[in-house]
Amino acid sequence: MADALYMLSQNDKDDFISRELYILTDTQLSSITELINHSKQLESLHTYTLLAPKLENNLSIIKFNSSIL
């Protein structure tokens, strides 16, 4: 998470009207602890936390592509 927040801070320009951060978490203690540890850095963002239901298998997102219209 620290790396992602660093990247966001590098793009802190006036031409951004709204800065939004969507966090997908499985609500494990380590995920929640990371959010708490970086709460000061999240204050300037509109942050949305999406809670995934409990999974039987441990899954991960290895690649994500996004395009801005």
Confidence band (pLDDT; 50, 70, 90) for 10? low
> Is residue 67 within a helix (H) or strand (E), and if so which, with residue range?
none
In a domain, 59, yes or no: no
Domain count, the chain: 1
In a domain, 13, yes or no: no
- Grouping H, G, I as helix, E, B as strand and the rest as coil, residue 51 is strand
- Structural domain of residue 28, as residue ranges? 20-50
pTM score over 0.85: no
Question: Mind listing the pLDDT tens digit for each residue in 14-33?
Answer: 565 677 888 888 777 777 78
CA distances to 6, 14, 17, 24, 44 from 53, rounded to whole Å, are 28, 37, 32, 11, 28
